[in-house]
A and B are shown apart, each in its own frame.
Chain A
Amino acid sequence: MNEGNNGLRVGFVGNPNCGKTTLFNAFTGARLKVANWPGVTVERMEGMTSFNGIPIRVIDTPGIYSLSCYTIEEKVTRKCLEDNEVDVIVNVVDASSLERNLYLTLQLLELNTPVVLALNMIDIVEERGMEINIPTLSKMLGGIPIVAVSARNRSGLKQLLLAVVNHVKDRPKAFVVTYTPQIENKISKIETTLKSSYKSLENVRWYAIKHLEHDEKIMSEYPAALEHIIDQNYEKQIISQKYNRIEEIMETCLVKREQTSLRTDQVDRFLTHPLFGVPIFLGIMALVFFFTFTVGDFLKGYFEIALGYLSVFMRQFMLEIHASGWITSLVVDGIIAGVGGILTFLPNIFILFLALAFLEDSGYMARVAYVMNEIMGRVGLSGKAFLPMLLGFGCTVPAVMAARALPSERDRKRTILITPFMSCSARLPIYVLFSEMFFPGHALIVAYSLYLVGLLVAITIAFATHHMWGTGEEDVLLIELPEYKTPNGRTVGIYVWDKVKDYLSKAGTTIFLATIVLWFVLNGGPSGFVTDVQDSFAAIIGRTLIPVLRPAGLGDWRIAVALISGLSAKEVVVSSFSVLFQVNNINSAAGMSALLGSLGSFGFGSLNAYALMIFCLLYSPCIAAVATIKKETGSLSWTIGMVLFQVFIAWGTAVLVFQIGSLIL
């Protein structure tokens, strides 16, 4: 045990979506993302708390259904447990789904580490008119302490820590599952063999059972001559005997078994309808974007007024302190125009994430996997691959990480390849600005069309790679559908605040720096400070790209420069337009008409604007996303190849749109 310096180590282990992270947040004050679909947590996380002066290190693990080693989540959690990284396991159990949750509990008990059972969501059980006999349950589970908690309402938390601290050394008092004599006989024979080969091995029963189950990890780490005992794989028998035991426990401990959870079934009949499921999903997404645009725009006005005042005030302030002209220009035309301009889009971003948080916390997310399974099946992916894509509407970084939930390497890479085409929130300011400027009255439809184009390109590329990369092992849909619930204010709050904070800090760092760099390359040239912007570094670089961008209707050096700076973060495309075209308060009516005038002066019309939006939608995601992709795929060359491929797709599609559009219009 490691109680000295680092504190008591407590690992939260449980099924996906049983409330581990909500508990972790409640104990550590952390604000990790929580949602109502299986697989939100993909990495182990650590935090600190204390109880009666005892420091406690809390470890949150990805949700697992069993202690086998088939998925990345299972491997991460099992490694954490087998390497003795925890002193006490807190097995978080969804009381409303006790029967299934107990399977993992029985396996954890076989590990013979001290286990405390946290019976979460007990409030839901009571709502359904059921009762769990906790003392009997504890008795049937080897006497381990059981604490009823509600992670959401933060009740029972102290009692849980008390149980943890008091039972640090208490291992289960008896075997919880006694298998049939045939299997027990084999277990004891294997134990004898293992003991003679591995003298220091503790808890030999666990290793013996794993050998019987043909567990690859244990068989390779602790090889032994057991062929005469293990004549076949006994996993099936062991699993079904565990479930038999669970049935006994359920019959004894659960009073008044659940009738049916009617509400979820009724909602599901509608939302997962074989014919209307897909249109309903598209409708819900359309509604999300409708709110993002209309409510967001309504709030935006106040931000613009504030920004207008700030800009006038700063210019006067600079005059009064006799600041030199270039500093005034850097602050007002550079930083305030660029960074401030981006901040006016905050209401749109806020509404988008609020809507996504509602979707994620309601329980609908996992249904989307079912609804989209056929469409994804045509391109050789399972409906589950659609979840990372859907998250991509928010931000590409967590979306790419969510692809870990896919078991096959080939499908994981294909999903990572197409996820950036899902239009993330950073591209929203570009659509808001250009669609409102060039398509007044139809801005919403134009913006929604971009989301659909992104989806279409993603699916087309998935289709192409399915045939080009050869047929691999195909994932097949297997996902748990959680109960619907009313989104929790706290969970939604954490989620949205996190995103708003990200956006603000991005405005203060990446966008701020990009704006300053842009101002310098715009005001500096090979001969020092330039008076004519045409001699600046920016113009020189931008001009070299004109021939390439012209077929896409984007043949202006300033557009080229804006697109290059957009690689740092997509919002920078908008802040760069403010700086490049010297438009203050770009998102206001005056700002838009000024920019419209400047763009119109070289023939940039609505078709060019649409091609620009298409290009921004499809070209390489921001640096943060690229870095995540590199980390997740572990291959630099693959990542570079992907970036080049995406730039090519963006260019090709923009050219196609512009050329065909020019013929028609």
Chain B
Amino acid sequence: MKLYEGEIGKTYIVYSVMVKAGITRRLEALGVTELTPVTLMNKKGSGTVIIKVRGTRLALGRKISEGIEIREAADHE
């Protein structure tokens, strides 16, 4: 599922990141890489989300949150 479809408070695993190249690189530098666990902290109907990844909170707009494919942590393990 897409990142913004996740449930608040749950932890997921990043499956793939499919956004514009420049943004992908910035996300990767921030540690949002494939197989990284992310926790969805908050989200709005519009798709803007707050996630916690590698101990840091990030606010991401919809164009990013819809490009990040996630899996439930349990599925992965």
> How far does the alpha carbon of A268 sit from the alpha carbon of B49 in the complex, in Å?
12
Contact indicator A481/B57 (Cβ below 8 Å): yes
A269 at the interface (CB under 8 A from B): yes
Q: Chain A nearest CB: distance from B54 CB in Å?
A: 4
Q: Is B46 within 8 A of A374, CB to CB?
A: yes
A276 smallest CB distance to B (angstroms): 11
Chain A residues, Cβ within 8 Å of B59: 366-367, 369-370, 373, 383, 477-481
Is A476 an interface residue when CB atoms closer than 8 A count as contact?
yes
Q: How far is the CA of A236 from the CA of B35 in the complex (A)?
A: 13
Q: B28 contacts A383, CB within 8 Å?
A: no
Q: Is the CB of B29 within 8 A of A268?
A: no
A304: min CB distance to chain B, Å: 45
CB <8 Å contact, B26 and A478: yes
B41/A268 in contact, CB under 8 A: yes
- Residue B73 is within 8 A (CB to CB) of chain A in the complex: no
A346 to chain B: closest CB distance in Å? Answer: 36
Q: 1/0 contact trace for B53-68 toward A, CB 8 Å? A: 0111111111110000
CA distance in complex: A504, B22 (Å): 45
A477 vs B33: C-alpha distance in the bound complex, in angstroms? 18
By a CB distance below 8 angstroms, the chain A residues around B57 are 264, 268, 480-482
What total of chain A residues lie within 8 Å of the partner, measured CB to CB?
A: 41
By beta carbon, the residue of chain A nearest B21 is A233
* Least Cβ–Cβ distance between A252 and chain B, in angstroms: 16
A478 adjacent to B55 (CB under 8 Å): no
B50 contacts which chain A residues (CB < 8 A)?
A: 268, 272, 370, 481
Residues of A near B56 (CB, < 8 A) are 97, 99-100, 480
> Shortest CB–CB separation between residue B10 and chain A, in angstroms?
13
A181 interface residue per 8 A CB criterion: no
Minimum CB–CB distance from B16 to chain A (whole Å) comes to 11
Any chain B CB within 8 A of the CB of A377? yes
Report the minimum CB–CB distance from A190 to chain B (whole Å).
20
* Nearest neighbor of A479 in chain B, beta-carbon distance: B59
Contacts of B26 in A (CB 8 A): 65-66, 70, 478
Q: Is B29 touching A66 in the complex (CB atoms < 8 A)?
A: yes
Bitwise, B11-36 to A at CB < 8 A (1) or not (0) is: 00000000000110111111101101
Q: Smallest distance from the beta carbon of A223 to chain B beta carbons, Å?
A: 21
A274 touches B45 (CB 8 A): yes
Verify if A240 is at the interface (C-beta below 8 Å from B).
yes
A520 beta carbon closer than 8 Å to chain B: no
Closest-CB distance, A124 to chain B (whole angstroms): 12
Q: Contact: B23 with A476, CB < 8 Å?
A: yes
Given known A235-B25, A268-B41, contact A243–B61 (CB-CB < 8 A): no
Contacts of A479 in B (CB 8 A): 58-59
Q: Is the CB of A99 within 8 A of B61?
A: no
Q: A99 near B64 (CB under 8 angstroms)?
A: no
Judge whether B55 and A98 touch: CB under 8 Å.
yes
Please give, as numbers and ranges, the residues of chain A lying within 8 Å of B31 by CB-CB distance: 99-100, 103, 243
> Which residue from chain B places its CB closest to the CB of A274 in the assembled complex?
B44
Contacts of A98 in B (CB 8 A): 55
Name the contact of A478 in the complex, choosing from B27, B33, B54 (C-beta under 8 A).
Answer: B27
> What residues on B are CB-neighbors of A374 within 8 Å?
44, 46, 48
> Which of B27, B45, B58 has the largest number of chain A CB atoms within 10 A?
B58
Query: Contacts A239-B28, A239-B29, A383-B61 hold; do A478 and B23 have CB atoms under 8 A apart?
Result: yes
Is A248's CB within 8 Å of the partner chain B? no
A268 touching B42, Cβ below 8 Å: yes
Residues of A within 8 A of B44 (CB): 274, 373-374
A478 CB contacts on chain B under 8 angstroms: 23, 26-27, 58-61, 64
By the criterion CB–CB under 8 Å, are A65 and B29 in contact? yes
Q: Which residue of A lies closest to B57 (CB)?
A: A481
A258 at the interface (CB under 8 A from B): yes
Answer yes or no: A68 CB below 8 A from chain B CBs: yes
| Interface check A382, CB cutoff 8 A | yes
Chain B residues within 8 Å of A66, by CB: 25-26, 29
Given contacts A377-B61, A480-B57, A481-B57, contact A70 B22 (CB under 8 A): yes
Query: A98–B64 Cα gap in the complex (Å)?
Result: 24
CB distance from B42 to the nearest CB of A (A): 5
Q: Known contacts being A374-B48, A477-B60, is A243 close to B23, with CB within 8 Å? A: no
Interface assignment of A251: CB less than 8 Å from any CB of chain B: no
B55 touching A480, Cβ below 8 Å: no
Docked complex Cα distance between A90 and B6 (Å): 40
User: In the complex the two chains form, is B41's CB within 8 Å of A477's CB?
Assistant: no
With an 8 A cutoff between CB atoms, is A85 at the interface? no
CB atoms of B28 and A370 under 8 A apart: no
Q: Complex Cα distance A103/B33, Å?
A: 12
- A265: CB under 8 A from chain B? yes
Cβ of A476 and Cβ of B42 under 8 Å apart? no
CB–CB B63/A481 < 8 A: no
**Which residue from chain A places its CB closest to the CB of B58 in the assembled complex?**
A480
| CB atoms of B55 and A481 under 8 A apart | no
Q: How far is the CA of A100 from the CA of B59 in the complex (A)?
A: 15
Task: Determine if A236 and B28 form an interchain contact, defined as CB atoms under 8 angstroms apart.
Answer: yes
Interface residues in A228-254 (C-beta closer than 8 Å to B): 235-236, 239-240, 243
User: How far is B48's CA from A367's CA once the two chains are assembled, in angstroms?
Assistant: 12
Residue in contact with B25 in the complex, picked from A70, A100, A273, A474, CB distance below 8 Å: A70
- Shortest distance in angstroms between A622's beta carbon and chain B's nearest beta carbon? 33
For B31, the closest partner residue in chain A by CB is A100
Within the complex, which residue of A65, A236, A264 is in contact with B30, where a contact is CB–CB below 8 Å?
Answer: A65
Residues 365-397 (chain A) with a chain B CB within 8 angstroms: 366-367, 369-370, 373-374, 377, 382-383
Chain A window 472-493, contacts with chain B (Cβ cutoff 8 Å), 1 for yes, 0 for no: 0010111111100000000000
Q: A99-B56, A274-B42 are in contact. List 6 more A-B contacts (CB 8 A).
A: A99-B31, A100-B54, A100-B55, A100-B56, A407-B22, A478-B58
Q: Would you list 30 pairs from A and B whose C-beta atoms are within 8 A, ordered by A residue?
A: A65-B26, A68-B29, A97-B55, A98-B55, A99-B54, A100-B55, A235-B25, A239-B28, A239-B29, A239-B33, A240-B34, A243-B33, A243-B36, A268-B50, A274-B42, A274-B44, A366-B59, A370-B59, A373-B46, A373-B59, A383-B61, A407-B22, A476-B63, A477-B48, A477-B59, A477-B61, A478-B26, A478-B27, A480-B57, A481-B57
Sorted nearest first, the 3 A-B pairs with minimum C-beta distance are A477-B61, A66-B29, A370-B59
Task: Report A's interface with B, CB cutoff 8 A.
Answer: 65-66, 68, 70, 96-100, 103, 235-236, 239-240, 243, 258, 264-265, 268-269, 272-274, 366-367, 369-370, 373-374, 377, 382-383, 407, 474, 476-482
